[in-house]
Amino acid sequence: MLVNIHGFSSSGDNTKHAFLRSVFPGEMILSPDLPVEPRAAIRELESIVEKYKGEPILLVGSSLGGFYAYYLSAKYGCHAVLLNPSLMPFASLMDCLGDNVNYNTGEPFVFTEEHIKQLRDMFPEVYLEGDHGLLHAFVCEDDERLDHTQTKKMLVGCGTFVSFAKGGHQFADLERIQGEIRRIYFELVKKERDHRQDGVEG
């Protein structure tokens, strides 16, 4: 199964979810609307991973959702696809403090200093403990919000790192990566299937 993790001021019904549905028509894809509060968002995502952790899981997170996917990968050993990930959201989201509007739903919300603190507190848990070999990053060099060179430095040793000259923070033309994502996911599924067969035979 796949879990789509949306970014800041977005929702589960985003372009990445539509993209994943088109690429994986026969697979279960969960794409929850997450709370603004980071710890509450993580609790919701953890409950999903806990429920399905007996199955092969691929996390797909964009922007802030990439940080959440990074966090969950470190905690549960899941493979994660990171699309223009905001790996230090406590810094990159400082200019979003205060009143905001969800650009998918139109609903207003407030992003607070407490939310920034929660993200900052979560950072050591993921950056110091994660296995970069489980991470598959795709970035756009013209990202207007995040520095792709910093992302590359922070993800040394990751399983996949692909950069594109164009695409912006929203990561336009997702079709460019559908082959890579399919490869990552179905290699994961095959590995899990082989592991189970070895267990039965053993």
pLDDT score for 82 = 98
Give mean pLDDT, residues 170-175: 95
Residue 200 has pLDDT above 60, yes or no: no
How many domains would you assign to the chain?
1
Residue 90 has pLDDT above 90, yes or no: yes
**Which position has the higher pLDDT, 128 or 154?**
154
Q: How far apart are CA 130 and CA 76, in angstroms?
A: 9
Q: How far apart are CA 61 and CA 13, in angstroms?
A: 13
Token pair in block for residue 5 = 């993790």
What torsion do the CA atoms of 179, 180, 186, 189 make, to the nearest 10 degrees?
-160
Confidence grade of residue 86 (pLDDT, cut at 50, 70, 90): very high
End-to-end CA distance of the chain: 26
Instruction: Read off the pLDDT of residues 173-182 as tens digits, 9 standing for 90 and up.
Output: 999 999 999 9
Instruction: Read off the pLDDT of residues 18-56 as tens digits, 9 standing for 90 and up.
Output: 999 999 999 999 999 999 999 999 999 999 999 998 899
Q: Measured between alpha carbons, how far is residue 15 from residues 31, 173, 194 in Å?
A: 11, 10, 33
Helix (H, G, I), strand (E, B) or coil at 67: helix
Q: Which one-letter DSSP state was computed for residue 175?
A: G
Express as a percent the part of the chain with pLDDT over 70: 96
Confidence grade of residue 121 (pLDDT, cut at 50, 70, 90): very high
Q: How far apart are CA 15 and CA 103, in angstroms?
A: 12
If residue 161 lies in a helix (H) or strand (E), which one and from where to where?
strand 160-164
Q: How far apart are CA 119 and CA 67, in angstroms?
A: 9
pLDDT score for 54 = 85
Domain that holds residue 45: 2-199
The residue whose two tokens read 């970069």 is: 132
Give mean pLDDT, residues 96-108: 94
Q: Measured between alpha carbons, how far is residue 36 from residues 26, 78, 112, 119, 133 in Å?
A: 31, 23, 10, 11, 29
pLDDT score for 125 = 72
- pTM (two decimals): 0.94
Give mean pLDDT, residues 165-174: 96
Residue 196 has pLDDT above 80, yes or no: no
Q: How far apart are CA 85 and CA 161, in angstroms?
A: 12
**Which position has the higher pLDDT, 192 or 76?**
76
pLDDT score for 193 = 80
CATH classification at residue 44: 3.40.50.1820
